[in-house]
Amino acid sequence: MTHPQAAIVGVAESDLGRTPDKTVLQLQHQAARAALEDAGLGFGDVDALFCAGGWAWAPTLMLAEYLGIRPKYTDSTNIGGSSFEAHLGHAVAGIEAGLFEVALITYGSTQRSDRSRTRGGYTFKLTEQYEPSFGLPTPVGAYALAATRHMYEYGTTSEQLAEVAVATRKWAAMNEKAMMREPITIADVLNSRWVAEPLHLLDCCLVTDGGGAVVVTTAERARNARTTPVWVLGHGEAHTHNAITNMPDLATHQAAVASGRDAFAMAGLTPADIDVAEIYDSFTITVVMTLEALGFCGRGEGGAFVSNQRTAPGGPFPMNTNGGGLSYCHPGMYGIFLLIEATRQLRGECGSRQVEGARIALAHGTGGVLSSGATVILGKD
C-alpha cells in the first residue's frame, strides 16, 4: 500500500454539556481555533471548510463569514451523525486531487440549552409524513423497532444491550470531560425507565450542547505539523434509506456493511487489525448492529460479542474510549467526536484511558435511523 496522502493534524472540542452562553457559531469557533492551534496552523491557512447542521440554510456560508475565512472549497453534506466521517473522506479525496491543502471540519449544537432534539423547527413532510401520524417517536422509536427485530431474529437480550452502556460508562469514568461518570450496572440499565420498548433510558444517548473540530492536511504539510500526524488509511460511506419503514432489513445495518467494506479494502486491512474502535452509540442497539455490519463478529452475534464487558477498560476490544454518546456527550450529531477520540488514542494522549500500543483505529458514524454509514480507518507511523 502506498503511503497515505492526507492526515489529521489537529483536533479539539469546544465547551460541552450545557452552554447557554454560547451559540453554535461560538462553539465551532472555539473548537476550530483550538484544533488549528493543535496543528500549529491558523484560520488563514484554511482553504477548505466542511460542516453540517440545521442551524442555517447554508451553514458553511455563515460559518466561513463568522470565522473570517474565504475557502476555495466547501462541503455541507448532511447525512446525519455520520456526516463528519464522510467529510473526512471527502477532504482526503480533495487533497489527493490537489484542490486544497488544509481542510477544517467542524460541528456545533446547543440542543440541550434549547431543550429540544428538534431539527431547527423542521417539520415532517413529503415522504417523511407517514410515520409520525402513527405515533412513532423519532429517532428512538425507529431504533426500538430495529432492536425488537434483532431480538426476535437472533435472541439478543436486554442484558446484552446493557453491557454496552455499562462498559461505556467505565470509560467515561476516566474522562474528566464526560458528562456522566458515576458507575452503573446492568441492573441499573434494566431498571431505568422505558423510553421506547425495548430501549431503556440508559440505552439512549445523552442530550448535550457542544462542538468539535478536525484539521486535515497534505502529507507534506502533515510532516511539519506541531503534532504527530494521524494518517487516513481508508474511508467509505453509504446510505440505504431515510424513513425506518424503508430500511431494507431492520436487523442489519446495511449502510455500515457497505461503508466498512470499502474502508477496509482501501486500507488493505481487516477487522482483526483494529486496535481501538470508536463506534457511533446513539443507542446500545446501534453498537451491536454496527459491530456485526463491520465484520467484528457474525450476523446476529453482536449481543454475545459485547457480553462479559468485552469492550470495557481492560477488555480485549477497547471501544468508545471517551465514554461515547451514551456517557461523554451527544450534541445531536456525534460523529466528529469519534474522530477526535480516535486521533487522540493514536497520538497517545488519553491518560488513564489510553489503549496501550494503539496503532490502528476505526471510527464509524451512523446517521438518521440506521440510514447512513461512514467508516474511517486511521493509523500512525
Task: Determine how many CB atoms are found less than 10 A away from the CB of residue 337.
Answer: 32
C-alpha 285/C-alpha 143 separation (Å) is: 7
| Residue 113: HSE in the Cβ half-sphere, 13 Å Cα cutoff | 16
Nearest CA-CA partner of 341 in 326, 365, 360, 320: 320
C-alpha 366/C-alpha 81 separation (Å) is: 6
- Residue 356 is classified by DSSP as T
- Residue 79 is classified by DSSP as B
Instruction: Specify burial of residue 352 (Cβ count, 10 A radius: 0-12, 13-18, 19+).
Output: exposed
C-alpha 126/C-alpha 8 separation (Å) is: 39
User: What DSSP element (H or E) covers 33?
Assistant: helix 24-39
- Cell numbers 488563514 correspond to 44
Q: Which of 107, 143, 154, 280 is catalytic?
A: 280
208 Cβ contact partners less than 8 Å away, ≥ 6 residues apart: 16, 17, 18, 111, 112, 179, 329, 330, 331
- Using CA atoms, how far residue 192 sits from 180, 186, 188, 307, 331, in Å, is 15, 10, 6, 20, 22
Bridge partners, residue 73, by sequence: 48
Q: Which of 143, 154, 328, 334 is catalytic?
A: 328
Question: Is 122 annotated as catalytic?
Answer: no
C-alpha 366/C-alpha 253 separation (Å) is: 9
Instruction: Specify burial of residue 126 (Cβ count, 10 A radius: 0-12, 13-18, 19+).
Output: exposed
Question: Is 107 annotated as catalytic?
Answer: no
- In degrees and rounded to multiples of 5, residue 191 shows phi and psi of -90, -5
Could you list the active site residues? 280, 328
